[in-house]
Structure 1
């Protein structure tokens, strides 16, 4: 009986994992876009601090990518476990 229930739920798990990975990718794209636009605006206002702004932007973008990768891995684990 349990195997029948798990067989019926498997397609929904795949759909949930795909939606979760998609939401993580879209969220990361939006976050990095916002960071990029804010950094370009800040550099336009204060060109002398472009190096500091750029380095901070890269660190924050890497953190966002790490969170998105973590979310995709969790979605993949939910699919296979």
Structure 2
């Protein structure tokens, strides 16, 4: 019975490794295609977040949260608040409590 369990576990490991290698191959083919969408523009997150958080009552907290969001989304909405339609990724990030993560 123990040999059967070992063989069954080995089969699953091999199947998972094979499936993972297929996914990696597909991902590499898709990533290397020349017709893929253009790369997003680089943004200076420190400068963009300094402008976004200039009138915040808690500038350090605002700048830290904005920096995290900017790193992930590669954009920061213009102005000191609102304007989330300019950067949907930034607007859709939430905390564990369902509140906006990004200032």
Give the number of the structure whose alpha-carbon radius of gyration is greater.
2
TM-score (norm 2): 0.32
Question: TM-score when scaled to structure 1?
Answer: 0.41
Query: Which structure would you say has the larger RCO, counting Cα contacts within 8 Å and 6 or more residues apart?
Result: 1
